[in-house]
Amino acid sequence: MNSTASLYEVVNNTYSGYSKDSTIQDLIMQQCIRTPERTAAVCAKGSLTYGQLEARASQLACLLIKNGAVANKPIGIMMSRSLDMLVAIYAILKSGAPYLTLSVSLPSKQLKKIISNCSVDTIISDSEFASAISPLPVKNVFMQDIAFDDNVIAPHAQQLCKPEDIAYILHTSGSTGIPKGVAIRHFSLVNRLEWFIRKYEINENDVVLQKTVYTFDVSIWEYIAPLLIGGSVCLLEDGKECFPSAIIDMIHKYGVTVMHFVPSILSLFLQYCQNIDIAKYMSTLRWVFCSGDALLPSHVKSFSELINKAVGTKLTNFYGPTEAAIDVLYYDCSCDEFEDVIPIGMPIQNVRIYVLTGDSLAQIGEEGELCIAGDGLALGYVNEPDKTNEVFCPAHFIGEEVVYHTGDRAVLRKDGNFIYLGRMDRQVKIYGIRIELGEIESAFCGLPEVTGCAALANIDNDDNSITVFLTAVSRSSREDMYERLRDTLPHHCFPNYIVYVNSLPKMENGKTDYVQLRNLKPNFFIQEMNA
């Protein structure tokens, strides 16, 4: 066995026992029964005990079962971050169905495609979103219409489903403008959460800040992990995710101990922290986790100097695509010795990571595509067998029945840590949101006056922006162009800048030369508009 194969064998020796025969709702219910008086969740508007959570979720689950809830047939949820949101998610799981989170900001055409593709016929929602749901061909269940009795746990409220069944469906960006629904099974989620709880000693005294938008998978460990061990979920008000002052208020008021940042937002947070008494306002915070973007050495150094030295908070870098339950790699950052590049680390339990070059295992230090195998893998894309088979493939040459091809470039270092090198395609992350630049180009090319389009992302040095370069027979106003795109392009995909050019630079094969495009001098621009 050569040195590369030997290192992979060591790195991927990740077997560990976990509750593989249990579903997520089984584990939450067990905790609710053990500690009914403990606080399960808290927010600015109130709190919820484990007993109340179980009572309300059981009553809603009974209603969903009567309405036809079954395993593997998703029930949609469109809600703001709230105590009711937690109840609704748990209730859907108790009904035996998977939950599918829906963003009210999605264009109506995309919402209709999603619910059609996933066969959703019921959506639980807040009444404030009635106008967004009314055009959809679904049954609406508004939380405000349900008279919960906190003293009653409804009988027959937990419908059987298997650990191999789907727990949740999240959607990722697609180059055609149609998001792909990723189906994650119960055992995959249980594996990730139990590893997290054990590795970082999450316990009943922890208060986890839930601030990630629920259409992104980081939110799942924020609001479910503490419920498995008797801890508390602290819900940040919707829309406050990018406001450091609001985050610090929650840490101080509710004694938050664990939280997550996208690195670019961490950077803003650290800038704000330069002017506050960290020891006074953040003394309870023991661990910060990062994922979604590349964590930079400057982030780690600043974190160490400001927060670690003041209150001893630790920092960990996570990596994981939506197509594998939340995270598959971790790296605990040193706050004493700083690296030139922050690794994405080593695999979590029961997950195996490879860097492949075609049908070969990349050598140590050789660049290739990062691929994932093991218990964390998604079932695939909902009702998209062709797209599933493109990226979930057999790899018998390394002894794996299925590996997921992430499209990320990576290398394996001699110390067993993986290093992320960027995307192989043109998918980028802006503030942790995965965006397909081809989706933006496709939308703009659909405008009748546009004859060519190229989109570029600038994600260096925390400058997260998108620029669109257009060739067109006529120039439209920014307002007119955006108004016509609102039904086809999600808000987070709108570019920050629009630049008209005489022509798009091309390579010999006729494709757009993005390198040359990035280096164009300003006099090549006809018009620039800050979006």
What is the spatial distance between Cα 192 and Cα 225, in angstroms, rounded to a whole number? 9
Q: Which superfamily does 427-530 belong to?
A: ANL, C-terminal domain (3.30.300.30)
Please choose, from the candidates 205, 258, 193, the residue with its C-alpha nearest in 3D space to the C-alpha of residue 231: 205
Is it the case that residue 54 has pLDDT exceeding 90? yes
Question: 3-class SS at 298?
Answer: helix
Report the run of H or E that residue 340 belongs to, with start and end: none
What is the average per-residue pLDDT within 217-241?
96
Per mean pLDDT, which range of 341-345, 440-444, 461-465 is the poorest?
461-465
Please give the pLDDT value at position 479. 80
What pLDDT is recorded for position 55?
96
508 vs 264, residue with greater confidence = 264
Contacts of 493 (CB under 8 A, 6+ apart): 173, 435, 439, 440, 443, 466
Quote the pLDDT of residue 507: 60
Residue 135: predicted pLDDT: 86
Strands (E), 292-350: 314-319, 329-332, 346-347
Question: What pLDDT digit, counting tens, does each position of 259-293 carry?
Answer: 999 988 898 899 999 999 999 999 999 999 999 88
Task: Give 324's DSSP letter.
Answer: B
Mean pLDDT of the 291-306 span: 90
Q: Where are the domains of the chain?
A: 3-14+352-423, 427-530
Average pLDDT over residues 52-72: 95
pLDDT one-digit tens code per residue, 371-421:
999 999 999 999 999 999 999 999 999 999 999 999 998 999 999 999 998
Residue 526 confidence (pLDDT) above 70: no
The pTM of the full predicted model, rounded to 2 decimals, is 0.84
What's the pLDDT at 102?
94
For residue 225, give the nearest of 318, 292, 310 by alpha carbon. Answer: 318
Give the pLDDT band (50/70/90) at residue 70: very high
When comparing pLDDT for 503 and 270, which is higher? Answer: 270
Name the CA radius of gyration of the chain, rounded: 23
Residue-level pLDDT at 371: 98
Q: Is 404 left (phi over 0), alpha (psi -120 to 50) or beta?
A: beta
Please check the confidence at residue 528 and state whether its pLDDT lies above 70: no
CA distance linking residue 217 with residue 390, whole number of Å: 22
> What confidence tens digit (pLDDT) does each residue in 485-497 have?
888 788 888 888 8
- In this predicted structure, what is the pLDDT of residue 174? 56
pLDDT tens digits for range 132-179: 888 888 999 999 999 999 888 887 767 789 999 999 999 986 545 568
Which pairs from 148-154 meet CB under 8 Å and 24+ separation?
A: 148/55, 148/56, 148/59, 148/60, 149/55, 149/59, 150/51, 150/52, 150/55, 150/56, 151/55, 152/55, 152/59, 153/54, 153/55, 153/58, 154/55, 154/58, 154/59, 154/61, 154/62
- Assigned CATH topology for domain 3-14+352-423: Luciferase; domain 3 (2.30.38)
Per-residue confidence band for 435, with pLDDT thresholds at 50, 70 and 90? confident
Give the pLDDT mean for 292-301: 87
pLDDT at 463: 63
Identify the residue with better confidence: 396 or 339. Answer: 396
* Of 467 and 332, the one with more pLDDT: 332
pLDDT at 530: 47
Distance CA 391, CA 371 (A): 9
Helix (H) or strand (E) holding 305: none
Q: Which residue has the higher pLDDT, 75 or 426?
A: 75
Least confident of 74-78, 123-127, 425-429, 451-455: 425-429
- Specify the 3-state DSSP secondary structure of 1: coil
* pLDDT of the residue at 259: 98
Report the first-to-last Cα separation within the chain, whole angstroms.
Answer: 56
Give the model's confidence band at 502: pLDDT under 50 very low, under 70 low, under 90 confident, else very high: confident
Task: Write down the pLDDT at residue 525.
Answer: 46
Ranking 43-47, 155-159, 206-210 by mean pLDDT, the lowest is 155-159
The mean of the pLDDT values for the chain is 90
